[in-house]
Amino acid sequence: MDPVSIAILFSGNGTNMQSIIHHVQRGHINARIACALSNQTGAHGLIRAQKAGIPTHIVRHDRYQTRKAFEEELIRVLERYQVKVVVLAGFMRILSEVFVDHFRHRILNIHPSLLPKYPGLHTHRRVLDAKESKHGCSVHFVTEGLDEGPVVIQAEVPVLVTDEIESLTRRVLEKEHLVLPLAMKWLCQGKLYCNDGTVYFDGAALKTPIQLSESHCRELE
Domain ranges in the chain? 4-218
Is 102 an annotated catalytic residue? no
How confident is the model at residue 61, as a pLDDT?
97
User: With respect to CATH, is domain 4-218 assigned 3.30.2020.30?
Assistant: no
Which among 23, 111, 140, 177 is annotated as catalytic?
Answer: 111
The CA distance from 81 to 61, in Å, is 20
pLDDT in tens, 126-162: 999 999 999 999 999 999 999 999 999 999 999 999 9
Task: List the chain residues with pLDDT less than 70.
Answer: none
Reduced to 3 states (helix: H, G, I; strand: E, B; else coil), residue 74 is helix
